[in-house]
Chain A
Amino acid sequence: MVVNKNKSSKPVIEIKEMHKWFGNFHVLKNISLGVNQGERIVICGPSGSGKSTLIRCINRLEVHQQGDIIVNNVQLTGDLKNLEAIRSDVGMVFQSFNLFPHLTVIENCTLAPIWVKKLPKKEAEELAMELLTRVKIPEQALKFPGQLSGGQQQRVAIARSLCMQPKIMLFDEPTSALDPEMIKEVLDTMIELAETGMTMLVVTHEMGFAKKVADSVIFMDEGEIIEQNDPKNFFNNPKNDRTKLFLSQILNH
């Protein structure tokens, strides 16, 4: 396990008694969660448990109907000014990469810094090359996403988010769409990112990753946070029956 020296007790995300409905369907029920700066949290649970919806609420890709979400001391409301400020501080990596197929790798990385952060083009390109080097694909900068493998695309997606120099990174099942031999390269990139002290919320089924880098593991089921614990206790003696069942299903095969 990587010891987290960057963790502080300064909260960057506070979720208080938050509820969300899709139509009449109650997807998130009474969620309360605090994330400190530098903290790494892994969220797992069966499909349909609301874990993706939860992290998508944090940058308001989904709108919650009740309760509070406070990111970087800013309350998430319908106010567009707040929203754009929060979104440029919160990076997100998706299961299906969502790279812009009509732009080259480097254009994917520089688009938002140039237009949202108003960075000069040259600076944005230097930053992008630096981050592409960090995810180990600087030589692909001029290619289009369609010419890269899944693992490479996901690493570009990580670099693209990092180019906005976010304070928080959200990962929504980043390795679920990848072929087995490509999962490792993406996880390695995420582990390196964790070592830099980034605040990370990761929805994943990669329990090895959770054991290695997480400060805290959350188990969700049917829209509720069932259990939250440090990885050691979470995996070795889960308290809730549903957590035990889930762990037995994904670990013993």
Chain B
Amino acid sequence: MSEKTYKPGNYPDLPPPPGTVGVYGWIKQNLFSSISNSLLTIISVVLLYYLIDGIIGWFFLDAVFDADSKIACRKIDNGACWAVITRRVGQFVYGFYPETERWRIDITFLTMFVAFAPLLYPDIPKRKWLLYFSVFYPFFAFVLIMGGYFGLQKIEYSLFGGFMLTVILGVCGIVCSLPLGILLALGRQSNLTVVRTLSVCFIEFMRGVPLITLLFVASSMLNYFLPPGTNFSILVRVIIMFTFFSAAYIAEVIRGGIQAIPKGQYEAADALGMNYWQKTRFITLPQALKISIPGIVNTFIGLYKDTTLVVVIGLLDPLGIGRAALADTKWNGLSTETYLFVALFFFVSCFAMSRYSLWLENKLNTDKK
């Protein structure tokens, strides 16, 4: 084809041979490259068709979205009976928080995104002003959720439950455990023997004990260890335990990141006359945290899902609410629908975290741009 001759140094850039690039090329290479491969493709497509058809049928087409009970559902159609969710969605979301006060949770939840935006997206416009709000937000959220100030009705923590409880535990645990984890990681690398020993002991103890044990400690024993007179609500005690537990893991993840930084980075910083805190702030942490993003988010997702363990000390997380719903004679036996719904909630939250971490990794990748 290209029988033409060119003088040395003048060979032009030719297009690739036809059928190797583009949609057609991709299909040919990946789906129909041989007879057995083509057969597999066709069989897979047929199986996928039946699978998807069945799933869509059960989930949507044959599903019942509102009915008085499981028996009423079955009379209407034979797909999923989502009525157990739609009839109890308030409980799934707010637990037993009084219905008239639920707007407070809604506002807290929506403003949470405003508070997190400047922390998660450094390029956001008006970031400085939004950061003031982020600092103020914890107090705002506390007052709004707990009440007791500014004429807001005081709500007992024992009424908390459902997704709201998951989000409170998860977000507080995540927000508190990152700084604590960083301090522990630095402490473990410290030259000061006391600081290093304390950090190592804390990390090893927290990692070496099952989370459930810590939660039982939180619910029954923590007050013995605290100074007399202090009395935290069970919610705060559980948050402290979640924070400690995941901080220990995060510390180890970050320590891995710190150790991955080449020695030359510290030598360059030393040679420029930077002191320990300057090195830590400008050289060590930015690079170590960037390397550790996948591990940190992994730990966060683990923590978020582990919040369901609070059911063992009597707090009603979504699984607890689900169990309560299933115990109702009207909805007896709809565990598939109930647990799928709870699973969907967790999946959406965790998938969002995972995508954010991918986005952040890409953004911080300064090697190729």
List the interface of chain A (C-beta within 8 A of B): 59, 61, 80, 84-85, 87-88, 90-92, 94, 96, 98-103, 111-112, 115-116, 144-147, 157, 160-161, 164
Contacts and interface: CB of A to CB of B under 8 A. Distances in A.
A94 B175 CA distance: 39
Interface stretch (B11-19, B138-146, B267-275, B300-308): B267-275
A112 B272 contact: yes
Given A102-B290, A111-B282, A147-B369, 16 more contacts: A59-B270, A61-B270, A84-B275, A87-B270, A87-B271, A88-B272, A98-B262, A98-B267, A100-B269, A100-B283, A101-B287, A101-B367, A102-B366, A112-B272, A116-B275, A147-B367
B265 A88 contact: no
B273 A61 contact: no
Contacts of A144: 366-367, 369
B368 A88 contact: no
B268, B270, B272, B369: most-surrounded residue (chain A CB, <10 A) = B272
A161 B368 CA distance: 25
A96 B275 contact: no
Top 10 nearest A-B pairs (CB, nearest first) are A88-B273, A98-B268, A87-B273, A112-B272, A146-B367, A98-B264, A144-B366, A92-B271, A116-B273, A102-B286
Interface in B254-287: 262, 264-265, 267-275, 278, 282-283, 286-287
Given A96-B264, A100-B265, A91 B364 contact: no
Nearest to A101: B366
A149 B275 CA distance: 30
A111 B268 CA distance: 12
Contacts of B272: 87-88, 111-112, 116, 160-161, 164
Contacts of A90: 271
7 contacts: A94-B268, A99-B268, A101-B287, A102-B290, A116-B274, A116-B278, A145-B366
B274 A112 contact: yes
Contacts of B286: 102
Contact of A91 (B271, B282, B283, B369): B271
Contacts of A84: 273, 275
Given A146-B367, A147-B369, A98 B274 contact: no
Contacts of B270: 59, 61, 87
B366 A146 contact: yes
A111 B272 CA distance: 9
Nearest to B367: A146
Contacts of B268: 92, 94, 98-100, 157
B369 to A, nearest CB: 6
B368 A164 contact: no
B271 A146 contact: no
Contacts of A157: 268
A61 B366 contact: no
Contacts of A101: 287, 366-367
Interface of B: 262, 264-265, 267-275, 278, 282-283, 286-287, 290, 364, 366-369
A61 B263 CA distance: 11
Nearest to A145: B366
A145 B262 CA distance: 15
A59 B282 CA distance: 21
A59 B271 contact: yes
A146 B368 contact: yes
A156 to B, nearest CB: 12
Contacts of B369: 144, 147
A97 to B, nearest CB: 8
Contacts of A61: 267, 270-271
Contacts of A96: 262, 264
Contacts of B282: 100, 103, 111, 115
A47 B111 CA distance: 62
A82 B275 CA distance: 12
A249 B338 CA distance: 80
Contacts of B262: 96, 98
A63 to B, nearest CB: 12
A208 to B, nearest CB: 26
Contact of B278 (A59, A80, A115): A115
Contact of B273 (A94, A98, A112): A112
A116 B274 CA distance: 6
B246 to A, nearest CB: 25
Given A84-B275, A115-B282, A164-B272, A102 B267 contact: no
A224 B273 CA distance: 29
Contacts of A88: 272-273
B363 to A, nearest CB: 11
Given A61-B270, A84-B273, A147-B369, A98 B265 contact: yes
Contacts of A94: 264, 267-268, 271
B281 to A, nearest CB: 9
Contacts of B274: 111-112, 115-116
Contacts of A91: 271
A101 B369 CA distance: 13
A99 B262 CA distance: 11
A64 to B, nearest CB: 16
Contacts of A59: 270-271
A43 to B, nearest CB: 17
A99 B278 CA distance: 16
Nearest to A116: B273
A77 to B, nearest CB: 16
Nearest to A96: B264
A253 B282 CA distance: 45
